[in-house]
Amino acid sequence: MHYRHEWKHELTWLDVLTIRPRLQAVMEPDPHALEGKYHIRSLYFDNAQDKALREKIDGVNRREKFRIRYYNGDLSVIHLEKKSRLNGLGTKYSAALSREEAQDIVDGSWAWMPEADRPLVRELYCKLRYQGLRPKTIVDYTREPFVYGPGNVRVTFDYGIRTGLNCTDFLHPDCPTIPAGDAPILLEVKWDAYLPDIIRDAVQTPGRRAAAFSKYAQCRIYG
């Protein structure tokens, strides 16, 4: 189990215009980005008691959440992901899904899942059955990612956060979404054992402190 450190900072566009040139000077753009950015669409799961949402809001030390995600509208590469946090550190597990499998999960057609050759799919099946997890809401946003080899550092700007409200038809490109309230621009910094000083200095902005922020929680503001 490989846990990573993570900082999150809420920014303004002026902050972005200040920090972005610093990152461009010392980091590389993510090779998967198109013209320096990509669009992310995720479908998050929760149960009738909003377990994942409540654990985030209450700051539960050990928590997890499931989502299905794809990038830039490309439905040929879809991932089931589980994000876990313990003692302020995070880790992520991932398994590939076909478009048909993702749609089956959304539709409640789960008969194939106990026999899947991916342990994460089988784990989700158990939690669909016994924790009552269900597709909850779509989260859309744009990401500008940068990478740095030493320390396995990843820095991203995330903005334009939109919610699908109660819509879970996330494979449909025209599924309507709306802005998730007054969502900020989010700077995320993730690293393994150490954060190089050159990156630490590059992301510093006076008056900004690390803060807990959840895109999923932000996208639940309307219910």
Cα 141 to Cα 174: distance, rounded to the nearest angstrom: 15
pLDDT in tens, 100-120: 999 999 999 999 999 999 999
The pLDDT score that the predictor gives to residue 202 is 95
Q: Please name which of 27, 10, 32, 8 lies closest in space to residue 190, comparing C-alpha atoms.
A: 8
Q: What residues have CB less than 8 Å from 17, skipping those under 6 apart?
A: none
Percent of the chain with pLDDT over 90: 81
Residue 215 DSSP class: H
Q: How far is CA 47 from the centre of its chain?
A: 18
Query: Which contiguous run of DSSP H or E holds residue 29?
Result: strand 28-29
Q: Phi-psi region for residue 194, left (φ > 0), alpha (ψ -120 to 50) or beta? A: beta
* Other beta carbons within 10 Å of 213: 17
User: Is the CB of residue 46 less than 8 Å from the CB of residue 133?
Assistant: yes
What global pTM score does this model have? 0.94
Instruction: Note the helical H segments in 131-180.
Output: none
The pLDDT score that the predictor gives to residue 175 is 85
The pLDDT score that the predictor gives to residue 1 is 63
pLDDT in tens, 35-91: 899 999 999 999 999 999 999 989 898 999 999 999 999 999 999 999 999 988 999
